[in-house]
Amino acid sequence: MDMFTLAGKNAIITGAASGIGRATAIRFAQAGAHVVLADKSDASTLADELGGLFVHTDVTDENAVEALMRSVGTAAPIDILINSAGITSEAALPDVELAELERMLRTNTNSVLLTMKHAAAHMTRGGAIVNVSSLAAYVGLPTYASYAASKAAVIALTRVAALEYGPLGIRVNCICPTSVDTPMLHAQPSGDVEAMLARIAAPLGRICQPEEVAALLHFLAADDCPQISGQAVAIDGGATAGFSIAILESLTAALLDPAVA
């Protein structure tokens, strides 16, 4: 028996042009899946390299999402759906613009609802949906109000979908990564600072790599995990276990500094 094989599986991955989505497409293809890379950015070269298919898709557009699911599902049933498309922004609460919150919700939340809404009719019994939420969904981070709200909603949608799709034999889970070393992180104004803080906050002492997130997505998507559904799984280097030694040492040094006193 080949453990965690995805041989013969038809997998759709949104946000597959870069970051977590790209790493996931590569890993799934290596595990035997036929991968469909859905993104607004061009991922055709990667799709060709993986023997898969690139479908230009705006995941905030319901007509585009429905067309994606119909076209893929007509050719072969959909076994796996990975929702990794996402964006981020930063603003202190007094500076949050409603338009920016709505932009976060359209891409990070509405897209998950739309893909799950239209994928189910084309999915096989035993299929798996895994959504990418964020550690920000349940650990407060200053200046991330809009992003955190959009990702918290993903956890709620995941749980509802697990209840509704369970009788169809479809498992639905989500993952909650800490900061991940992706182009999106480094494009943020404070991305380098966030990366440094992620290393300090994690007891393991390093930032998460997209390939490590892809490994968790693979675990949850495989048939080897038939009883895991409705869960939000953190991947954070141990950050939510408590204060890391690095944080405690930094705080202690600051408290003992005469200049602070």
Least confident of 38-47, 84-93, 121-130, 179-188: 179-188
Angstrom distance (rounded) from CA 224 to CA 235? 19
Q: Is 138 a catalytic residue?
A: no
Tokens read off for 75? 């050719």
What is the DSSP code (8-state) at residue 106?
Answer: I
Q: Is 133 inside a domain boundary?
A: yes
Contact status, residue 172 vs residue 164, Cβ threshold 8 Å: no
Give the C-alpha distances (Å, rounded to integers) separating 114 from 19, 67, 119, 122, 162: 22, 11, 8, 14, 15
Q: Is 4 inside a domain boundary?
A: no
Q: Is 166 inside a domain boundary?
A: yes
Q: Is 76 inside a domain boundary?
A: yes
Which among 138, 144, 147, 165 is annotated as catalytic? 147
pTM of the model: 0.94
Q: What is the pLDDT of residue 260?
A: 55
83: helix, coil or strand?
strand
Q: Give me the CATH number covering residue 61.
A: 3.40.50.720
Contact status, residue 166 vs residue 225, Cβ threshold 8 Å: no
pLDDT above 70: percentage of residues in the chain? 98
The CB density around residue 248, as the number of other CB atoms within 10 Å, is 11
Q: Is 2 inside a domain boundary?
A: no
Strands 78-83 and 53-56 come out as unpaired
27 pLDDT higher than 60 = yes
Domain that holds residue 50: 10-256
How many structural domains comprise the chain?
A: 1
